[in-house]
Amino acid sequence: MANKPQGMWYVSFELPRRGKRSFARATETFPNERKATQFARAKLVDTLNISAGTLNHYLPKRTIAPMEIPEWLEEPDEADWA
């Protein structure tokens, strides 16, 4: 099995209901917070049930609950500080 490089951030989102399965989620990983926020913003069109955060071993650890996603998307990007 090939080693797939993993990102620092993840975005988890609810998948559309299909058949008997009442709840399914998928997760994507990203190399940085900017790409994670871009993806999360695009997923808000499909579902409000999105969570995000840093993967294990990356510090500072951060977890963004579904209720905090809109606030997280409004935070200034590090590139905006320069």
Segment 15-56, tens digit of pLDDT: 877 766 667 889 999 999 999 999 999 999 888 899 999 998
The answer on pLDDT for 58 being more than 60 is yes
Answer yes or no: pTM beyond 0.85. Answer: no
> Any residues with CB less than 8 A from the CB of 23 and at least 6 apart, and which?
14
Q: What is the C-alpha to C-alpha distance for residues 32 and 17, in angstroms, rounded to an integer?
A: 29
Relative to beta strand 25-30, strand 50-54 is unpaired
pLDDT for the residue 5: 52
